[in-house]
Amino acid sequence: MLAKTISNISPFTLLDYPHKSACILWYAGCNMRCLYCYNPEIVLGKGTIAFTNVIAFLKTRIGLLDAVVFSGGECLIHKTILEHIEIVKEMGFLVKIDTNGSSPKVLKKLLDANLIDYVALDFKALPDKFETITKSNLFSDFEASFELLKSSKIAYEIRTTYHSELCTNDDLIEMQNYLEKNGYLGNFYVQNYINGSETLSPLPNSMSLKIEELNTLKQPQVIIR
Ligand code: SF4
């Protein structure tokens, strides 16, 4: 609990956990290097906040916030994450995990122990583009995480960042097909890349995806954020 694993705390959000008020813990470090990553300082930097300080902050939020979002970076790569989540759960908060899906073993432990209430799982790409976009070979781990969530009882969502130079409409339709084939019944959230952002890799501007360009009759439904 002494290591400083957290880069920052967003003290209040109504946007990150569906229908709940929450704060966000931004864990430093990541095992991917997505070209479009908006958080280079979190991914490449070191944590500066000890968890004891997080506990002190959360004590002042009991009864005021519904939930704590564990984000990053990739929060599940940290050795202390189970302990952290256990403490936050014991304090009475709902727990949401934002993950790139690369740590199915940790996810399984959390699910088995009923320590999480909601997961946002990044679907970076299918195998043909996964390595190019994430600079990692972790697609099979993503698949294992997806399987775990499908067979769990907790609520989760699948989300993708869209950049027109990295992903075509056909790629998105293939991803939609993959989700449908694998029995995903939720929404497929697609977030347009925000031009002008500082990212891990310099990227040209992206052309915004238009919902009418996708086959909206297909399932799961694509929701553009
Ligand atoms: S966008 Fe990619 S590199 Fe950035 S935090 Fe998420 S998984 Fe890591």
CATH of residue 179's domain is 3.20.20.70
For 73-94, what is the mean pLDDT?
98
d(CA 88, CA 97): 12
pLDDT of residue 224: 82
Confidence (pTM): 0.95
Q: Is the CB of 75 under 6 A from ligand 1?
A: no
Which of 11-14's residues contact partners 24+ apart within 8 Å by CB, and which partners? 11/57, 11/61, 12/65, 13/69
d(CA 182, CA 72): 27
Half-sphere exposure of 98 (CA within 13 A, CB side): 19
Which atom of ligand 1 is closest in space to residue 33's alpha carbon?
A: 3
Which atom of ligand 1 is closest in space to residue 100's alpha carbon?
A: 7
Q: Is the CB of 34 under 6 A from ligand 1?
A: yes
For residue 73, what are its two tokens? 């970076």
Cα dist from 208 to 168, 171, 192, whole Å: 11, 15, 6
Q: How many domains are there within the chain?
A: 1
Token pair 């202390």 is found at 80
For residue 211, what are its two tokens? 């919902």
CA angle 177, 182, 188 (to 5 degrees): 55
Which domain covers residue 187, as residue numbers?
4-224
Is pLDDT of 166 > 60?
Answer: yes
Residue 3 pLDDT level (bands cut at 50, 70, 90) = confident
For 107-115, what is the mean pLDDT?
98
d(CA 84, CA 41): 22
- Chain centroid to Cα 224, Å, comes to 16
Residue 66 pLDDT level (bands cut at 50, 70, 90) = very high
For 71-90, what is the mean pLDDT?
97
Q: Is the CB of 101 under 6 A from ligand 1?
A: no
Which of 108-116's residues contact partners 24+ apart within 8 Å by CB, and which partners? 108/148, 109/82, 110/82, 110/85, 111/148, 111/149, 111/152, 111/154, 113/82, 113/86, 115/82, 115/85, 115/86, 115/89, 116/85, 116/154
Q: Is the CB of 103 under 6 A from ligand 1?
A: no
Q: Is the CB of 33 under 6 A from ligand 1?
A: yes
pLDDT of residue 2: 66
Count the neighbouring beta carbons within 10 Å of the beta carbon of residue 225.
Answer: 11
- 37 Cα to the center of ligand 1, angstroms: 5
- On the 0-12 / 13-18 / 19+ scale of CB atoms within 10 A, 222 is buried
